[in-house]
Amino acid sequence: MKILILDIYKKTNYRISKDTSGGYGTGNDFGDSFTSKVLKKKLKKSHDWPPLFAAYTHSVLKKKGHNVVYLKEIPKNFLDFDIFIVVSSIVCCEEEIKSIKKISLVKKKVFAIGPFATNKPEKYIKAGATVISGEPEFYFFENNDFNKDLLNQIINVNNQLNLDDLPYPIWNELLDNKNVSSLFGKFISVPILGTRGCPYSCFKYCVYPLQQGRNVRQRTPKNIVDEIEYWSNKKVKMFIFRDPVFSINKKHTVDFCNKLIERNLNIKFVIETHLRILDNDLIRLLKRAGLKAVKVGVESFDPNVLEDSGRFTVSRDQQYDKIRELEKNKIQVSAMFILGFPSDNDKSINQTINYAKKLNTTYAQFSVWTPYPGTPVFKEYENKIITSNYEDFDQYRLVYQHKLFDKETIRKYLSKAYSDYYFRLSWLFKYLLSFNNS
């Protein structure tokens, strides 16, 4: 069967990633200042890959013997394909809907996959698609005659399979044409999965549990290292872990690190995790295994703002000490902050920006608090939403009626945060030093 996986993006001057924010996607529109525009332009040129659920769907179908093509636009010969699989997101949903309507007009069969279609299936069904609700790769893994299911509007996936069962994503077939050869040269990094699921309290506004669930599932350390070795043999030397919280199971992490050290593959990797998980021994072990950089959520300076949002974190002293310990081990740190929490005011936002400067990590990311459809908090804010376009839910715009701020004010704060943070000599020295030490 000839299958087209269609991953549609709207045209912007900033990077859109459908692999972030739990598969809902984000649009990295950092603001309107000079610094913001420079950062947007720089980031748009890097880290270009489809969401992992689409990459795994592609590899599963290929393993089953189908002729599978991955594209970011509808080709002229689209009538040659038997089935279409549209990758859903919140940040490009309107463009995706247009594509589904175009395909449906010629009576072609369309699946819509991903957490946004799972949680907002009506839009995709109305356009003419059958929605796979849940993890699509497991649906295609378990079903050989899925053509019959296209008669249904929603297919619910009740996954009983192990993550180790999934074949590796075939990254050399999924990257843009300009990056195909760079997988073995310029394009030095590929995403990789170690675990799925997150049990932390910020599920109130976080979208990761919407498709992955709150129970943590993990690949065996050997299976992860085998995939790293597979791509390492093809000259890939940097791996970006896409786990919601890497190292959530310390024993699993230690086993993974030890196996990676034993293989002596000389690779680097990047993780996103919670500071409370990291201790000095684990940091040193991760460094020995090849940890290059870590992303950590700090979110806000104000503990009352964090408590009100349902976010648990360690104390500011612990944050500072653990970040310094990471840097002492020559590991780059990217700290993530959120502006526009419901309890935020001018003082708390400015304190957060100043605190980010005090931490002075290699990178800092500032985004805007967003009550995503499907999350528990959305029901509280549904009547306060100030936009009719879901594509505005890109994590960089105010989409609800804040008690103090309008969207223009939050936009100015976003621009200020990036300008104040990156336009400093102390940051520039830190940035250059982090590369000299790596």
Q: What is the CATH number of the domain that holds 23?
A: 3.40.50
134 near 113, Cβ under 8 Å? no
State how far the Cα of 247 lies from the Cα of 322, in Å rounded to an integer. 15
Give, for all 438 residues of the chain, the pLDDT tens digit: 999 999 999 999 999 999 999 899 999 999 999 999 999 998 887 767 899 999 999 999 999 999 999 999 999 999 999 999 999 999 999 999 999 999 999 988 999 999 999 999 999 999 999 999 999 999 999 988 777 767 778 998 877 789 999 999 999 898 754 443 333 334 468 899 999 877 665 667 677 766 676 678 899 999 999 999 999 998 888 999 999 889 888 999 999 999 999 999 999 999 999 998 999 999 999 999 999 999 999 999 999 998 888 777 778 889 999 999 999 999 999 999 999 999 999 999 999 999 999 999 999 999 999 999 988 899 999 999 999 999 999 999 999 999 999 999 999 999 999 999 999 999 999 888 887 665
Predicted TM-score (pTM) of this structure: 0.93
19: closest CA among 213, 244, 293?
244
Q: Residue 143: what pLDDT?
A: 86
Distance of CA 184 to the CA centre of its chain: 23
Q: Tell me, yes or no, whether 154 and 198 share the same domain.
A: no
pLDDT at position 256:
97
Strand partners, 262: none
Backbone torsion region of residue 124, taken as left when φ is above 0, otherwise alpha when ψ lies between -120 and 50, otherwise beta = alpha
Residue 136 domain-assigned (yes or no): yes
> Does any domain span residue 314?
yes
pLDDT of residue 201: 54
What Cα–Cα distance (Å) separates residue 415 from each residue in 16, 339, 340, 410, 421?
A: 18, 11, 13, 9, 10
Task: Report helix, strand or coil for 289.
Answer: helix
Q: Does residue 246 form part of some domain?
A: yes
With beta carbons less than 8 A apart as the criterion, state whether 135 and 159 touch.
yes
Chain-centroid distance, C-alpha 417: 22
Same domain, 229 and 367: yes
Burial of 13 (0-12, 13-18, 19+ CB in 10 A): exposed
Answer whether 162's CB lies under 8 Å from 23's CB: no
pLDDT at 407: 96
Query: Which residue is listed with tokens 């104000």?
Result: 302
Q: Are residues 213 and 243 both part of a single domain?
A: yes
Inside any domain, residue 179: no
Give residue for tokens 């893994």.
141
Q: Give the residue from 115, 139, 168 where a domain finishes.
A: 168
Segments forming the whole domain that contains residue 22: 1-168
| Amino acid at the residue 248 | I
- For residue 181, being part of any structural domain is answered with no
pLDDT of residue 315: 84
Q: Could you tell me if 276 and 402 lie in one domain?
A: yes
Q: What is the pLDDT of residue 136?
A: 94
User: Which residues touch 246 (CB under 8 Å, ≥6 apart)?
Assistant: 194, 195, 253, 271, 272, 273
57 and 24 in a common domain: yes
Indicate whether 202 belongs to any domain: yes
Q: Which two tokens stand for residue 229?
A: 């070795």
Query: How many structural domains comprise the chain?
Result: 2
Q: Six-digit token pair at 246?
A: 């890497």
Residue 338 burial (10 A CB sphere; 0-12, 13-18, 19+): buried
Residues 89 and 201 in one domain: no
Q: Are residues 161 and 193 in the same domain?
A: no
Distance between CA atoms of residues 109 and 11, nearest Å? 26
Helix (H) or strand (E) holding 85: strand 83-87
CA distance 99 to 7: 10
Residue 7 lies in a domain: yes
| Cβ within 8 Å of residue 302, ≥6 positions away | 343, 344, 348, 351, 352
User: Alpha-carbon distance 326 to 16, whole Å?
Assistant: 29
Other Cβ atoms within 10 Å of 331 Cβ, number: 24
CATH classification of the domain holding 412: 3.20.20.70
Any idea how long the chain is?
A: 438
Nearest to 257 by CA among 278, 234, 275, 233: 278
Range 147-173 burial, b when 16+ CB lie within 10 A, else e = eeeeeeebbebebeeebeebbbbebbe
Q: Is residue 176 domain-resident?
A: no
What gap in Å lies between CA 176 and CA 182, rounded to an integer?
Answer: 10
Q: Does one domain contain both 376 and 334? A: yes
Question: Which letter, b or e, does each residue of 285-302 get, where b requires 16 or more Cβ atoms within 10 Å of its Cβ?
Answer: bbbebbbbbbbbbbbbbb
Question: In which residue are the tokens 């993530």 written?
Answer: 336
Q: What whole-number distance in Å separates Cα of residue 334 and Cα of residue 133?
A: 33
In a shared domain, residues 293 and 364: yes
Q: Could you say which of 140, 168, 196 is where a domain stops?
A: 168
The answer on 66 and 145 residing in a single domain is yes
341 and 395 co-located in one domain: yes
Looking at the structure, tell me whether residues 285 and 420 fall in a common domain: yes
